[in-house]
């Protein structure tokens, strides 16, 4: 049986993992002159949280939201700027909303949920860049960002799908195991 | 344990990728030929400089929108823009990611260089009317 403190520890663990992945991502020169193009590695922790049993303190959409907001704030102050926080917050919150909705339909697997997250993340950032930040030239990058969001989302989804069984065995519903 | 990859997942993968490729090809066709084109530089959404692609020039733009007619690498939060041989490029900047420099040269209509940290956009505008419009009419 998972205790409440175990759930809090799990959320903290995934928050730490997300922060490390944020750092790795901030130091990776992955983008090819395309602004806003990222691997979305921290999303791995968020996808995992969405899929962990929600009937405990950690796992489910609420825990994913908490960890995501904390991740953006901490990573933003550590590796980014205030302007960067606005960007990542728009992307991350949109992707979390969409992923939760897509997951609830029940038609999609973890890969599809992750793809929807990557896609909506990039589109939300594009929207913020165009509307709020007033960067009209960003529209030119829409096709690249759509493809990038889909492909990186698929990668994250496959990785999360591979990790999830082990996470479940460690932290999931301990009813089947002693 | 259900199958990891469902059919809906594959649809969700291929649909955006194909849509993205179609859009990219569309942009390419729209962007053909920038003869007589202009470089428009926006700072924080405000048009701060407009130069002809045909006139070679070097100037720098500060993040607050101030334009200098020479390269001034000593300034804080700057992007140095060079127009040469009908192409435009950011050759130096002190933004943290340097994406604008890595973007390289742009010359096609609609192409743009974006520096998110400095909220700077340099885009190619004007030039010949693209053929696509004539076909659409």
List phi, psi (to 5°) of B60. Answer: -125, 145
CB half-sphere exposure, A31, CA atoms < 13 A: 24
Q: What angle do CA A91, A99, A73 make, to 5 degrees?
A: 40
- Listed range (A60-64, A103-107, A146-150, B30-34) with the worst mean pLDDT: B30-34
CB half-sphere exposure, B1, CA atoms < 13 A: 9
Reported as a pLDDT band with limits 50, 70 and 90, residue B73 is low
- Average pLDDT of every residue of chain A: 83
- Listed range (A12-16, B116-120, B123-127) with the worst mean pLDDT: B123-127
Counting one residue from chain A and one from chain B, the pairs whose CB atoms sit within 8 A come to: 126
Say yes or no for a CB contact (<8 Å) between B99 and A116. no
DSSP letter (8 states) at residue A35: T
Helix (H, G, I), strand (E, B) or coil at B41: strand
> Which of chain B's residues have a Cβ under 8 Å away from the Cβ of A158?
4
Percent of chain B with pLDDT over 70: 81
Say yes or no for a CB contact (<8 Å) between B3 and A140. no
* Rounded-to-integer distance, Cα A74 and Cα B121, Å: 28
Residue B31 has pLDDT above 60, yes or no: no
What is this model's ipTM?
A: 0.77
Q: Per-residue pLDDT averaged across B118-126, rounded?
A: 86
Q: Read off the pLDDT of residues A139-160 as tens digits, 9 standing for 90 and up.
A: 778 888 899 999 999 999 999 9
Q: What count of residues does chain A have?
A: 178
Reported as a pLDDT band with limits 50, 70 and 90, residue B134 is very low
Reported as a pLDDT band with limits 50, 70 and 90, residue B136 is very low
- Listed range (A111-115, B73-77, B90-94, B109-113) with the worst mean pLDDT: B73-77
Question: Token pair of A54, please?
Answer: 């929600």
Task: Mutate one of A112, A123, A133 to test the B interface: name it (highest B CB count within 10 A).
Answer: A112
Instruction: Annotate A101-119 with three-state secondary structure.
Output: HHHHHCCCCHHHHHHHHHH
Neighbours of A46 (CB within 10 A): 27
For chain A, say whether B43 makes contact (Cβ under 8 Å): no
Task: Tell me the residues of chain A between 31 and 90 that have a Cβ less than 8 Å away from chain B.
Answer: 31-36, 81, 83-84, 87
Of B6, B110, B122, the CB nearest to A112: B6
Of B6, B12, B20, the CB nearest to A143: B20
Decide: A89 and A72 in contact? Cβ < 8 Å. yes
Instruction: Give the containing element (helix H, strand E) for B115.
Output: strand B112-115
The pLDDT assigned to A87 comes to 82
Between residues B83 and A174, the one the model is more confident about: B83
Q: Which CATH class for the A4-171 domain?
A: mainly alpha
> Which of chain B's residues have a Cβ under 8 Å away from the Cβ of A136?
42, 45, 121, 123
Residue B122 has pLDDT above 50, yes or no: yes
Contacts of A164 (CB under 8 A, 6+ apart): A48, A51, A110
The alpha carbon of residue B46 is apart from the nearest alpha carbon of chain A, in Å, by 8
Domains of chain B with bracketed CATH: 37-131 (2.60.320.10)
Q: Which of B33, B118, B121, B88 is nearest to A141 (CA)?
A: B121
Q: Read off the pLDDT of residues A15-55 as tens digits, 9 standing for 90 and up.
A: 999 999 988 887 776 566 676 678 888 999 999 988 887 65
- Listed range (A111-115, A174-178, B54-58) with the worst mean pLDDT: A174-178
For chain A, say whether B21 makes contact (Cβ under 8 Å): yes
* Rounded-to-integer distance, Cα A109 and Cα B8, Å: 8
The alpha carbon of residue B47 is apart from the nearest alpha carbon of chain A, in Å, by 10
* Number of separate helices (H) and strands (E) present in chain B: 3, 8
Quote the distance between the C-alpha of residue A52 and its chain's center.
Answer: 14
Query: Structural domain boundaries of chain A?
Result: 4-171
The pLDDT assigned to A173 comes to 55
Q: Which of A21, A9, A7, A13 is nearest to A156 (CA)?
A: A21
């Amino acid at each position: 049986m998972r205790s409440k403190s175990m759930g809090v520890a799990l959320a903290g663990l995934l928050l730490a993992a997300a922060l490390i992945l944020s750092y790795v991502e901030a130091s990776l020169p992955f983008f090819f002159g395309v602004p806003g193009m990222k691997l979305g590695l921290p999303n791995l922790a968020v996808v995992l949280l969405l899929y962990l049993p929600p009937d405990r303190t950690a796992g489910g959409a609420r825990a994913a939201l908490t960890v995501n907001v904390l991740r953006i704030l901490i990573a933003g102050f550590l590796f980014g700027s205030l302007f960067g926080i606005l960007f990542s917050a728009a992307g991350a919150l949109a992707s979390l909303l969409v992923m939760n909705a897509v997951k609830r339909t029940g038609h999609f697997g973890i890969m599809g949920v992750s793809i929807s997250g990557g896609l909506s993340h990039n589109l939300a950032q594009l929207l913020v860049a165009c509307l709020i930040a007033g960067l009209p030239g960003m529209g030119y990058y829409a096709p690249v960002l759509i493809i990038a969001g889909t492909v990186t989302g698929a990668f994250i989804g496959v990785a999360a799908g591979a990790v999830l069984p082990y996470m479940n065995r460690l932290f999931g519903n301990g009813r089947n195991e002693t | 344990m259900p199958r990891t990859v469902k059919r809906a997942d594959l649809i969700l993968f291929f649909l955006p990728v194909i849509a993205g490729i179609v859009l990219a090809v569309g942009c390419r066709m729209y962007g053909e030929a920038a003869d007589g084109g202009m470089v428009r530089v926006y700072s924080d959404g405000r048009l701060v400089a407009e130069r002809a692609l045909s006139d070679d020039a070097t100037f720098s733009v500060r993040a607050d929108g101030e334009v200098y007619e020479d390269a001034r690498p000593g300034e804080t939060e700057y992007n140095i823009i060079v127009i040469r041989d009908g192409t435009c490029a950011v050759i130096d900047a002190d933004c943290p990611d340097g994406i604008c420099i890595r973007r390289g040269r742009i010359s096609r209509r609609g192409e743009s260089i974006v520096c998110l940290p400095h909220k700077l956009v340099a885009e190619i505008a004007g030039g010949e009317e693209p053929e696509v419009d004539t076909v659409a009419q």
